[in-house]
Amino acid sequence: MTHEFYTLYDHMLHSETIIYMIMGISLVAFTLYWFFITGRDDNADD
Amino acid sequence: MNEQIMAPKKGLMTPFNIGAAIIVVAGIIITILRFTLGLGAVTNLSDYYPWGIWIGFDLMVGVALAAGGYVTSSACYLFGMKRYHAAVRPAILTGFLGYFFVVVSLIYDLGRPWRLPYPFLLGWGTTSMLFEVAFCVALYLTVLFLEFSPVALEWLGLKKARNLVHKLTILLTILGVVLSTLHQSSLGALFIPAPSKLHPLWYSEYIAVFFFVSSIVAGLSMVIFEGAISHKALHHRMGKEYLENHDDLTLGFAKAASMVLAGYFTIKWVGVAAGNHWDLLATGYGLWFLVEMFGFIALPSVLYAVGVREKKFGVIKIAAVISVLGIIVNRLNVSIICFNWYLPSADRYVPSWMEVVISLFMVTLIMLVFRFIANRMPLFDTHPDYRDNH
């Protein structure tokens, strides 16, 4: 994962791209995780 | 007080009392040494490490673990989850005692403790993060005292004063959330001016957010953890409402803790990505970071989730213990273990045994005062005179 960056723009583009990927994956994962946690709930409004 | 919650007769010579007595006696002796001979006589603090475990553990961990107060009261009074009402009083007391002994620990740690009120009296250092922390902690301690006071006033039979304070509940809860948000995050922000001292895997421009989010986990986990201990040790003091809602509270808080831990896990990786520190994961500190991430954040999150899904309260309690340990590990990592991480081992800080005893002394005093109050005041039960007034 080590990169050589020659400009700040390159560095920002690289790190921001990974952050956006993490956030995108997380949003999907959180939804699935919530369904897993509440899958056997008796009370739907919890 | 009704007959149902009269304390059972127990001898004084219990293992807990004997252990507590030894720690209290040792703590008093070291306290005398600290205030007569100075910090150098009892601590291993140095110019490299002016903050030891009295800050790293007693203050950083103490403030985080005392977050149960604002988490529970805001869930009940601001988010309308009235079924958690029975847990508010013990959570507020835990928070109040936590903050009170944070200030006591600070008096031990300050070279000139009589200058503690100086920020408010002499110099308003409004550009200082420490000033913000001091100001918020002082105000929040007052708020917690007022939030807890109805319990003491009911016990003393001062109905008018109790009803007056009770009317302020919503206002105090809002103040509590605002002040907690500010100083929980500011404790992390204290390290923002030290990028060259804190290891890059723990240093982040988002460290204030990390501290705040992890304080919510700490608060939720401490309520579950403290509830489990109280359930065993103080069962005879618990009223019907508390006992009926205890399982529901445990499941609700575990569900919240699981999701918040998942969020915390994610933003910690965002911190690594923002600094592009992936290469450091293959170092010794990197492995320790992975232990914290997977062992103390991801693992309890999954355990909470499984515990809630399968309604396994034992699993939830284990998750609460691991989460509390995780908060301790994180705060010690940031303030001590990964601070000045590049120094040779001879210059690294290792607390003296007397510093450790003083920290144990503080924890023991919190437990003793909590037990003293819980055995006398209507903490787990509504006072019969106020049952319809909540």
What is the tens place of the pLDDT at every residue in B183-233? 999 999 999 999 999 999 999 999 999 999 999 999 999 999 998 888 888
User: Would you state the structure tokens that stand for residue B74, as one six-digit string?
Assistant: 């805001």
| Confidence tier at B123 by pLDDT (50, 70, 90) | confident
Test B275 with A15 for CB contact under 8 angstroms: yes
Provide the strand spans (E) within B95-229. Answer: none
Render pLDDT for B65-111 as a digit per residue (tens, 0 to 9): 999 999 999 999 998 888 888 889 999 999 999 999 999 999 999 98
Q: What confidence score (pLDDT) does residue B389 get?
A: 55
Q: Confirm whether pTM is higher than 0.80.
A: yes
Q: What confidence score (pLDDT) does residue B245 get?
A: 80
Test B279 with A11 for CB contact under 8 angstroms: no
Q: What confidence score (pLDDT) does residue B4 get?
A: 45
Q: In 3D, which of B267, B260, B254, B265 has the Cα closest to residue B303?
A: B254
On the question of pLDDT at B17 being above 80, the answer is: yes
ipTM (interface pTM): 0.87
**Alpha carbon of B266: minimum distance to chain A alpha carbons (Å):** 7
Of A3, A14, A33, the CB nearest to B262: A33
Q: What confidence score (pLDDT) does residue B387 get?
A: 62
On the question of pLDDT at B273 being above 90, the answer is: yes
Q: What confidence score (pLDDT) does residue B201 get?
A: 96
Render pLDDT for B322-360 as a digit per residue (tens, 0 to 9): 999 999 999 999 999 999 999 999 999 999 999 999 999
Is B205 an 8 Å CB contact of chain A? no
Say which amino acid occupies B145: F
Q: In 3D, which of B101, B84, B99, B111 has the Cα closest to residue B137?
A: B99
Evaluate whether B73 touches B91 at the Cβ level (below 8 Å).
yes
What does the pLDDT average to over A4-30?
A: 93
Residue B45's SS3 state is coil
Render pLDDT for B369-380 as a digit per residue (tens, 0 to 9): 999 999 888 888
Is B372 an 8 Å CB contact of chain A? no
Contacts of B309 (CB under 8 A, 6+ apart): A36, A37, A39, A40
Of A14, A22, A34, the CB nearest to B259: A34
Give one DSSP letter per residue of B54-102, joined into a string: IIIIIIIIHHHHTTHHHHHHIIIIIS--GGGHHHHHHHHHHHHHHHHHH
B12: left (phi over 0), alpha (psi -120 to 50) or beta: alpha
Test B266 with A38 for CB contact under 8 angstroms: no
How many helices and strands (H and E) does chain B possess? Answer: 16, 0
Of B273, B309, B311, the CB nearest to A19: B273
| Confidence tier at B21 by pLDDT (50, 70, 90) | very high
Residues of chain B numbered 307-326 and touching chain A (CB < 8 Å) = 308-311
Evaluate whether B227 touches B260 at the Cβ level (below 8 Å).
no
On the question of pLDDT at A34 being above 70, the answer is: yes
User: Would you state the structure tokens that stand for residue B167, as one six-digit string?
Assistant: 């009317």
Q: In 3D, which of B234, B242, B246, B231 has the Cα closest to residue B5?
A: B234
Q: Which residues of B touch A15 (CB under 8 A)?
A: 273-276
Q: Which residues of B touch A3 (CB under 8 A)?
A: 276
With 0-12 / 13-18 / 19 or more C-beta atoms within 10 angstroms meaning exposed / middle / buried, residue B33 is middle
| Tally of residues, chain A | 46
Residues of chain B numbered 150-169 and touching chain A (CB < 8 Å) = none
Q: What confidence score (pLDDT) does residue B1 get?
A: 42
| Confidence tier at B159 by pLDDT (50, 70, 90) | confident
Of A14, A15, A39, the CB nearest to B309: A39
Test A15 with B273 for CB contact under 8 angstroms: yes
**Alpha carbon of B308: minimum distance to chain A alpha carbons (Å):** 7
Q: What confidence score (pLDDT) does residue B125 get?
A: 82
Is B262 an 8 Å CB contact of chain A? yes
Residues of chain A numbered 1-46 and touching chain B (CB < 8 Å) = 1-3, 11, 14-15, 18-19, 22-23, 26, 29-30, 33-34, 36-40, 46
Test A1 with B309 for CB contact under 8 angstroms: no
